[in-house]
Structure 1
């Protein structure tokens, strides 16, 4: 098989795995507190990353104190913050809504970079941000009676999911601030280890061991740790090495598609026209951002 097609396949499978985290977080939220589930996720994933590093002969990077602090902040935002907010939000939001919101990550990341770094956006990027915002609004404010308690609960859940996406965008921004670049495998291992260290203390206050045993929630955490976390890392970086960054970025369009499809097939959630319209807006945002990046590439290399 052509190497580029293998790259497309690997990145696509990785993004489908990311979309599945929205659905599996629904079952996790039903049986485990968010910090306990987060700590357990990284307690499972961290030893696996260590084993992979050992098998590949990868060593830990030597980092200055500033970079160590940045990595801790990254773990707090992208590893712990993302997981905690996502699981908390899934107690209240529908998986289909959350899938649409999760698909806005490229546009949210660009917006955070604009606000934090003062970057000047290209017109295509502005279009991507507008479309992504519209997609979130369409899928969020779709309840018939906004005064109903269920509607307020849904809005709160969507807000928590969006907070998770902002945390992931901060993770991307902080990674760009590192003075010493860290390779993908040790970075993933560091995020898992530091994420466990950050989550373990608040998790102890949740006293999850006093709750009734929920096999579905435990299975969800094991899946989250091994498939999207470890497996997703291997697939994404294996695929990204075979295709361009813009092509890999286009694969993120599969996140909302897979999340909404799994919400309908596995959770039997009804998918409304508003949610489908939200998916269309988010897909347009991904296309705008990616095509705009691809058009700028020749100018930069000239």
Structure 2
């Protein structure tokens, strides 16, 4: 198995976990304020990251001042921005709608990779992105939808998508190579430091916190946060940003299916067709890499 194909596998698993955050956030939205939930998420995840660092003897990062600025932007955008905007949007929007909107992540991520990172993706990557986008459009087209659509909720969730796109690709601008586990710990620590002061202004102790919301935060902290962070950074170290953007299409697939299975929200035939397009895009880009070893080292790809 080539390093590139391993990267594709890690990215796929990470994005499936990202999709599950939609269901978790829908449950959290009914019982916790967004910044409180975000701060609690990282308060639970950070100690586990630190234990894993100790057990694996992961070296401490020696980042430059410029790298610290990028890390802070990543934490603010992805760690805090994505979570709080997603939870806030899901107060007004069904989880299936959120899954559809998250489906724009491949296009947003590809745009960031090209505009911000200056990458020039191969035609096969662009074709895969187009196929993934077609799948998203098939999911969006739902003439039989019988629930109200909130413009404000949709706008908040799209803002979360932009934050997630920045989060997953800004890593390519780092000059210092930081181990995935150390990088994940930094995201949790910085994210918690940003969210905690704002959480105090929400006065969470004056509201009604539900057991299901707290349980959803615990899941969010342990599975998508710890597992998802490590898997994504490990995969991103082996592929280009534009290639990684294709795999973000798995997030809406996971979100829509889990919203149907866990929350009981409806799933239409056109959504299944869209999911098929998304999976075809991911398989289409992944199979060639499984036969051809990557010609670029992780460090050269990160430049």
Work out which of the residue numbers 213, 220, 233 in structure 2 matches 1:224: 220
Distance in 1, matches of 2:111 and 2:244, equals 20
Distance in 1, matches of 2:244 and 2:113, equals 20
The alignment partner of 2:116 has SS state of helix
The 5 A counterparts of 1:163-202 are 163-202=159-198
- 1:29: how far off? 0.8
Distance in 2, matches of 1:187 and 1:280, equals 33
Aligned length: 294
Match of 1:31 in 2: 31
C-alpha spacing 1:36/1:179, structure 2 compared with 1 (3 Å): same
Match of 2:55 in 1: 55
Match of 1:92 in 2: 92
Match of 1:20 in 2: 20
C-alpha spacing 1:57/1:107, structure 2 compared with 1 (3 Å): same
**281-290 or 200-209, larger mean C-alpha shift:** 281-290
Match of 1:267 in 2: 263
The alignment partner of 1:182 has SS state of coil
Match of 1:150 in 2: 148
Segments of 5+ residues of structure 1 without an aligned counterpart are none
Contact 2:106–2:249 (Cα < 8 Å) also in 1: no
C-alpha offsets along residues 206-249 of structure 1, whole Å, 9 cap, x if unaligned?
111110121111110011001121133456678x59xx759998
- 1:250: how far off? 7.6
Distance in 2, matches of 1:300 and 1:179, equals 17
Contact 2:12–2:250 (Cα < 8 Å) also in 1: yes
Distance in 2, matches of 1:174 and 1:296, equals 27
Distance in 2, matches of 1:58 and 1:104, equals 35
Match of 1:66 in 2: 66
C-alpha spacing 1:23/1:233, structure 2 compared with 1 (3 Å): same
Distance in 1, matches of 2:134 and 2:6, equals 33
C-alpha spacing 1:111/1:286, structure 2 compared with 1 (3 Å): farther
Question: More helix by proportion, 1 or 2?
Answer: 1
Match of 1:213 in 2: 209
Give me the TM-score of the superposition, normalised by structure 1. Answer: 0.80
C-alpha offsets along residues 53-97 of structure 1, whole Å, 9 cap, x if unaligned?
112222321122111111101100111111112212222222223
Segments of 5+ residues of structure 2 without an aligned counterpart are 298-303
